[in-house]
Structures are given as structure tokens and as C-alpha cells.
Amino acid sequence: MTNEISSVFSSTHFPNPTLISVNGVELEVFEAGKQNAGKPIVLCHGFPEHAFSWRNQVSALVAAGYHVIIPNQRGYGNSSRPTEVTEYDIVHLTGDLVALLDHFGYEDATFVGHDWGANVVWNLALLHPERVNKIINLALPYQERGEQPWIELMEAIFGGDFYFVHFNRQPGVADAIMTENTSQFLRNIFRKNVPPTPPEPGMLMINLARAENPLGEPLMEDNELSVFVSAFESSGFTGSIDWYRNLDRNWHLMADVPPIIHQPTLMIYGEQDTIPQSENLKNIVPNLDIVSLDCGHWIQQEKPEETTQSILKWLEQQNA
């Protein structure tokens, strides 16, 4: 890690990482508030992100009495990047979080997820309900399992250029283009106040990697963006994209798991997000509270103070 990135961590009160061996891999884990042992909260990032995406929540959570644990999940940062695609399925991803709790000696924890991290947390609550005491998920509501495997369904609805489908049908193509244009791709995807525009032809992630003039405004300062750029210049994108390449496998793996989530749950939406809000979430998550913030997809980075206060207020109510 460069001194420049270490100084960014220091200026944002973001902890330095430790490599921890769990579940057959090494995870790069950022930990704060060890003095609050016994009250763990695990923050799970999305795509194409990094544990650093939670930088604005750490200090307040520690001050509120939490032991904050933020892994770079497998495929990301300095965590392991297995070469077998199937090692990124939902059993492995949730297994990493269970093993992380075991490492710290915790029976359960509060889990917070954004984007793909939210998907992992939803499924963790289904596969290992005894390890999850509360859920806070951002951007991605629980995705109900239909009668068709995910990629087949998405291809029928959105076509072969839809990025989920493209990642699966043309493995390696997008990975290479995004890796060739790492800095430009991340600069272009991490935007806010993006005007609504009709979808352009082609594959979204490849278009973002090649676009010279991004829409909207930068989501973060250049020194913060450099943390993401440095991480992906080192890791490439294949490990993180392999999460998408397990969607159909996950569809089969979850076939016999009843989709009811009993833990108290807070769902935080961005009102300008392109991911639609779920009309049926309350039926799957009976103990549900919902907050909507006036922002796009990158909720905790775009609206850091509002996100943090929403989380703390809800946790305080749950713990009362």
C-alpha cells in the first residue's frame, strides 16, 4: 500500500488493514473500535467497490459503541482471488462472513450491506440465520427467486448486452477492457447527480470504461478515488465479476431455502437509484423499516451524514 493511500486512510479515520485467514482464503479486514468487543457490526461493500466505501460511517459507529469490522470480500483489494469461478458462489461468500465471526469469537453480529454486499447479507440471513441479529441493507432489496435461472431471465428481458448477461456469455471481454481503463472506468462509474438518460446501445460497463466525458458530478475527491483505483490496478476486475458469473449457480443453490427473513431489518433506498424499490419486500422481511434518501446508487458515499444518522437512529431504536 502506498504512503499516499495510507495518508488518505489516516485523514478519514479509516483503519489500516490486517490479512485474516478464513474459509480457505485470506481476507483484508479493516477493524475499528476493538474496545467495543462484544458489539460487532460487519460492513459489506458492493461492486466495484472496496471496504473504503464505508469510510464515512466508521467513526460514528465506534463512538456509538460498536466493534466495526469491514472486510474486502474475496476478489477485492488484497483479499484472495481464487481462480475457479465457482469459488465465488453464495455459499463461499456467506461462508467467509461466518468464518470471520468465528475468527473474532462472535456468535452473531449486525450486518450492513450495499449493492452486492446487500445480496450477500440477505442470503447470509437465509443460510445462517443464527449468525445474523440485525440487517441494514442499502440499494438492493432482496431479489426474489423466479422460475427461470437469473441470467436466462435477464437475457430474455434485457438482451445479450445487459452487463449481467455479457459478463456470463462473454467471459473475459469486459474484464480486460475495464482493467485496461481502470482509472477512467472508476472515475466514470462513481458519479452523483447523473441526469436520467435513455440507455445507450452496447454494454454499460464497457461503455463506462471507454467514455471520455462522464455524466453528472464526481462522487468523491481524487485522493479518495485513488484508493479504489490503486486496489483495482493491483487486483484487476475478474474476481469481482466472478460474483456475477455465479448467479445461476446461486439460483440452484438456494432452491430449497424458504425466502423469509425474520431478523429486524432496515432497508435504505436511494430515490434516484436505477435499481427499483421492491413492492413485495415486506412479505419476505416482515420486521422491516424503510428509509429513502435523495441520492443515487452510491448511498453511503453520496449521503454520508444522512446514511450514518439513519443507521444510528434505527440501531438505537432496536436496542432500546
Active site residues: 115, 297
Please count the CA atoms within 13 angstroms of the CA of 232 that sit on its side-chain side: 27
- Between CA 119 and CA 127, with CA 121 as vertex, the angle to 5 degrees is 105
Alpha-carbon gap, residue 106 to 224, rounded angstroms: 32
Between the CA of residue 85 and those of 47, 127, 166, 239, what are the distances in Å? 16, 21, 15, 8
Nearest to 211 by CA among 244, 177, 239, 238: 177
Alpha-carbon gap, residue 237 to 44, rounded angstroms: 18
Q: Are 89 and 246 in contact (CB under 8 A)?
A: yes
Alpha helices, DSSP H only, in the chain?
Answer: 3-11, 58-63, 90-104, 116-127, 150-158, 163-169, 173-180, 182-189, 204-210, 222-235, 238-241, 247-253, 281-284, 299-302, 304-319
Alpha-carbon gap, residue 154 to 152, rounded angstroms: 6
CA dihedral 292, 250, 87, 188 (to 10 degrees): -40
- Between CA 225 and CA 224, with CA 135 as vertex, the angle to 5 degrees is 10
Alpha-carbon gap, residue 147 to 34, rounded angstroms: 45
